[in-house]
């Protein structure tokens, strides 16, 4: 059974996403194909006020979910960098959760360490190692850019490994 998984790397300034199509194989007795459908980033205008930036995320996420029609969304759990940044990302995550609820799309969450472990076998892997694993797993000639989009694909792949 084919499944579309949308991976989201939450952010306030840049929200990375990556969508994959995979074949669900309950027995895992054979390799199951996975294909990249799309990837990119939703960028909010730095000079706009917070409300406008959250509206941009809301509107663009609605469009993205409507276009991709994912069966499952995988989201990177909030990781604490700086308190100011964490609050902004938490607000963006609220918008993400609202849009998913409105579309009635189920979601799963993974910590950064879980994503690194799933893709590299090592929970403290460097960012470049994760990006190289994404390119390798999806048979891409180069690492997807921006980094936030590669992170979105990494989250989607982590969900695929779990189903």
Active site residues: 9, 76, 148
In the sheet that 72-76 helps form, which strands lie side by side, from edge to edge? 34-43, 14-23, 2-9, 72-76, 107-110
């Amino acid at each position: 059974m084919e499944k579309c998984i949308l991976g989201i790397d939450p952010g306030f300034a840049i929200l990375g996403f990556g969508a994959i199509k995979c074949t669900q194989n309950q027995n895992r007795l054979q390799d199951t194909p996975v294909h990249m459908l799309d990837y990119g980033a939703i960028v909010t205008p730095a000079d706009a006020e917070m409300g406008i930036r959250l509206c941009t995320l809301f509107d663009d996420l609605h469009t993205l979910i409507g276009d991709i029609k994912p069966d499952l969304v995988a989201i990177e759990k909030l990781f604490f960098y700086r308190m100011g940044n964490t609050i902004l990302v938490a607000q963006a995550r609220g918008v993400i959760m609202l849009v998913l609820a409105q579309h009635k799309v189920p979601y799963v969450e993974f910590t950064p360490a879980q994503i690194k472990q799933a893709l590299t076998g090592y929970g403290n892997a460097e960012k470049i190692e994760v990006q190289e694993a994404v390119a390798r797993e999806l048979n891409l000639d180069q690492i997807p850019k921006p980094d936030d989009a590669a992170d979105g694909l990494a989250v989607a792949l982590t969900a695929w490994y779990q189903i």
